[in-house]
Structure 1
């Protein structure tokens, strides 16, 4: 639908005159008249055509339907893979031209400075709030309040990704971390 709106108007529907004013030819703006299950749009799009035709479209979401939509319509799919190798594999496995992976960094003057800053950052973590955040990363339906920080999560607590109705990509990432034996503390730091 978005593409139909951007494609409906002729490229010269609005032109800048030598005076600086913009001249509009209403005959070159066209209705879309879309009627769908969730919304209706009469159109036309009430902005002049963009020089490049359409804006760059991003899609966020790592569910199978989200990836399908992204591969079909978006120029860039946003993902949150834990490592560069995982991001590359995610893009290739799903036939995506461009992906934008989340990026978190600690910047310092040397490796030792980065290590010091990272250690200080970890020391400031509120682990009680971290338990809640990690539970959310795992789908929001688990209670981590009584678990020891320096032991791995019991496998029985981990949800099946298919049973979660939101943020499945995150659930998958944190489920894999837990299955690798990361402790609750390490999982909270990653969260």
Structure 2
């Protein structure tokens, strides 16, 4: 049995420094640091397609010096300064790197999540009080926590098939599906029986 320890990298999450094994997904690093990053499509046992976009976070790395410039000086704890990227990245498909910075609750990430939430609800029925999943639904929870409360969309919602028998234990309500692809990836990657898929996505 090998006694080798995994390479650990220093990562700053919302101002606090932590250590994680190299190659850890950013979303898992945040979870291990007790920082919740909202997500729908991510599952630790499945591949990460990054199609829901709810796990957007700000990412930063130590700046690279320009030719002729000195390397940036580390602080008293040995950490280099962080230069933040102008656009957020998805935490489910990116892995941690040495001296990386992650912001999960900045104004930029909050604005992005509000926009993503609005798009996910654009064609979703707004009948939570009579829905069977009311109170046990992460879409409902995240829409309260991360939504903006009012939609800019005034168009009529698209009507789709409801209560479609997919199998002996599964019924599909197409109007409530947000196309997270978890069921598709499960049948393909875990059950090894790719019977589900997307059409006209």
Given the two structures, how large is their TM-score scaled by the length of structure 1? 0.24
**Which structure is richer in relative contact order (CA contacts within 8 A, separation 6 or more)?**
2
Larger radius of gyration: 1
Structure in which a larger fraction of residues adopt helix: 1
Given the two structures, how large is their TM-score scaled by the length of structure 2? 0.24
